[in-house]
């Protein structure tokens, strides 16, 4: 069984406090009923369209104002009818992205999936091709992420504002989601990461880092330039 965890528990601080996942994408993106999709609705729709995914866990903010009720309102109605498509579950997130994903993975333990895709709820332009390629490589390698090579030449600087190292662009890139993993191992990796965070006060920035720290290598596949993440107001325009 393959499950998906869609992380939408952040506070959207860089959006000026507007909950970006609940914003409309506008009239160019419509659901089956002809209503504009929200950012979260578009992301969930892409995963629900895959017959290979049986459960979707949506991680929501742990408060009443932007929590499960608001998340449900942002989804097309058909996702709340359990006789159509994958099972949709909700779980409150935590104080960090890693902890929020951990909550989603822990909820899945009652369903015993074999694999899981972990996706940012603020990436609404994910398409079926990238989801399918992620699943195929995940089944083969057990851990995979989409990867985008850098276009501009990166530099490492010191705390005085001088260049410390001239890095080779050909060996560097950026990570996208969905990041796919064998389920039992990624849950164990998050449990170990939680222990280390408490002991050393560090923070993990994505799930590939968690897997790489405690399990092993992570494979990469080509990402998609359209699969961008909404972070700032200009990434989306006016929130409707």
Domains present along the chain, CATH in parentheses: 2-235 (3.90.550.10)
Tell me the per-residue pLDDT of 3-43, one tens digit each, with 9 for 90 and over.
999 999 876 666 667 788 998 888 788 887 778 899 999 99
Q: Please give the mean pLDDT across all residues of the chain.
A: 90
pTM of the model: 0.93
Query: Rounded mean pLDDT of 51-64?
Result: 93
Q: Report how far apart, in Å, the C-alpha atoms of 121 and of each of 56, 95, 193 are.
A: 12, 16, 22
pLDDT at 204: 93
Task: Determine phi and psi for 92, rounding to 5 degrees.
Answer: -70, 145
Query: pLDDT-based confidence at 109, cuts 50/70/90?
Result: very high
DSSP per-residue codes, 164-189: EEE--GGG-EEE-S-EEEEHHHHHHH
SS3 at position 133: helix
pLDDT at 82: 60
Tell me the per-residue pLDDT of 119-177, one tens digit each, with 9 for 90 and over.
999 999 999 999 999 999 999 999 999 999 998 889 889 888 889 998 888 888 999 99
pLDDT at 180: 98
Helix/strand/coil (H/E/C) assignment for every residue in 61-124: CCCCCCCHHHHHHCCCHHHHCCCCCCEEEEEECCCCHHHHHHHHHHHHCCCCCCEEEEEECCCC
Tell me the per-residue pLDDT of 163-216, one tens digit each, with 9 for 90 and over.
999 888 888 899 999 999 999 999 999 999 999 998 998 899 999 999 999 999
pLDDT at 57: 97
Query: Rounded mean pLDDT of 35-53?
Result: 93
């Amino acid at each position: 069984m393959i499950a998906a965890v869609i992380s939408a528990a952040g506070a959207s601080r860089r959006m000026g406090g507007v909950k970006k996942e609940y914003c409309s994408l506008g009239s160019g993106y419509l659901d089956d009923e002809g209503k504009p999709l929200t950012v979260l609705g578009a992301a969930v729709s892409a995963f629900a369209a895959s017959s290979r995914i049986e459960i979707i866990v949506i991680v929501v903010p742990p408060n009443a104002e932007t929590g499960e009720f608001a998340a449900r309102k942002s989804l097309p109605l058909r996702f709340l009818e359990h006789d159509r498509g994958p099972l949709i579950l909700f779980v409150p997130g935590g104080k960090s992205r890693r902890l929020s994903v951990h909550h989603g993975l822990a909820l899945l333990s009652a369903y015993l999936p074999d694999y899981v895709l972990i996706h940012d709820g603020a990436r609404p332009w994910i398409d079926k091709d990238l989801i399918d390629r992620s699943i195929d490589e995940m089944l083969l390698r057990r851990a995979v992420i989409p990867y985008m090579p850098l276009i501009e030449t990166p530099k490492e600087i010191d705390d005085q504002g001088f260049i410390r190292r001239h890095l080779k662009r050909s060996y560097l890139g950026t990570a996208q989601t969905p990041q796919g993993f064998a389920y039992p191992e990624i849950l164990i990796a998050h449990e170990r990461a939680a222990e280390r965070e408490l002991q050393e006060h560090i923070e993990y920035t994505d799930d590939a880092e968690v897997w790489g720290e405690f399990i092993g290598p992570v494979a990469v596949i080509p990402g998609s330039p359209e699969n961008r993440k909404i972070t700032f107001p200009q990434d989306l325009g006016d929130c409707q």
